[in-house]
Amino acid sequence: ATYVASSLVGGTKYPWLEYLPKNAPHLETKVKQQLRLLSSEESALGSPPHAPDELSDFTFDWNIWDKHYIDNCLFDDPQLGEVGTSLIPSQMEEKEFWENYAKHLHVICKAVVAQHNEIIAMQAEEAAAAALKAEEAAILQNVGNKGEVQARGGHTSGAGPKEKMDKSRRKANSVAVLDDAMRRDIQAFEKELMDELGEDFDQTVIVGKGDKLELADMEDLEEELSAILEGDDNFPEGGR
């Protein structure tokens, strides 16, 4: 006798729907494609899959399968009935056949869902990277706009970071306070701080050398530089 579904039980209750997220209906198509390949090879359902790790959380309730899933699976995939006719009962009992099928289905569904989750995670990472890049571009654009307005004689809430850095460099260089190595250190540190601080960087400059670089208030530094230029004896030799 041919092993076929007597009727579609309980509407469309299929075992793979227990594994798949409801917001990703396209995954059902992928699972069913894999199950079609499984039922096309009689030998595949003659034994359980060789996947002990994937089956570590597998459970099988024969009563639920017998009541809800078997007829529906046969209805969905007539080819599965042909394999069952060949194997039952000559090579195995009906319960063993369906437990093998359920194990294969378990492994297939877990693989499909895992791949789906990896794609979602990758898309989230790409979106976060794109948002960060856009934010950085906006900050750089804002800094550039401030500098452009200043260059054209316009007004902003204060001198841009480029103008302040150039002013402090001209004063310092005029009295040979900064040597070449110190300027290279400051330039690298300024760039790093501008990337991190954005507009907050407007109120600071950098002093020191090597691993002793530190932040200083712009107005305080200008007063100290003015004191150097005017020959203030109270200002310590060598600066800060």
Q: 3-class secondary structure for 69-118?
A: HHHHHHHHCHHHHHHHHHHCCCCCCHHHHHHHHHHHHHHHHHHHHHHHHH
Q: Which residues contact 4 (CB under 8 A, 6 or more apart)?
A: 74, 78, 81
Do residues 5 and 82 touch, judged by C-beta distance below 8 A? no
Q: Which residues on neighbouring strands pair with residue 204, listed in sequence order? A: 217
Q: Residue 6 and residue 175: Cα distance in Å, rounded?
A: 98
- Cα torsion at 221, 222, 225, 229 (round to 10°)? -170
Instruction: Tell me the per-residue pLDDT of 105-143, one tens digit each, with 9 for 90 and over.
Output: 999 999 999 999 999 999 999 999 998 888 888 888 877
Give the mean pLDDT of the chain: 75
Q: What six digits make up the tokens of 122?
A: 């990758």
Q: Residue 185 and residue 175: Cα distance in Å, rounded?
A: 18
User: In Å, what is the CA distance from 79 to each residue of 29, 35, 73?
Assistant: 17, 10, 10
- The contacts found for 193-200 with CB under 8 angstroms, 24 or more apart, are 194/143, 194/161, 195/136, 198/139, 198/142, 198/143, 199/142, 199/143
- Cα torsion at 59, 63, 69, 72 (round to 10°)? 160
Q: Is the pTM of this model over 0.85?
A: no
Instruction: Tell me the per-residue pLDDT of 69-101, one tens digit each, with 9 for 90 and over.
Output: 999 999 999 999 999 999 999 999 999 999 999
| Max Cα-Cα span within the chain | 112
Q: Which residues on neighbouring strands pair with residue 216, listed in sequence order? A: 205
Instruction: Tell me the per-residue pLDDT of 198-240, one tens digit each, with 9 for 90 and over.
Output: 555 555 555 554 455 455 555 665 666 666 666 655 545 544 4
Q: Residue 12 and residue 68: Cα distance in Å, rounded?
A: 10
Q: Residue 15 and residue 69: Cα distance in Å, rounded?
A: 6
Instruction: Tell me the per-residue pLDDT of 32-46, one tens digit each, with 9 for 90 and over.
Output: 999 999 999 888 999
56-89 in b/e burial notation, b at 16+ Cβ within 10 A? eebeeeeeebeebbbbbbbbbbeebbbbbeebbe
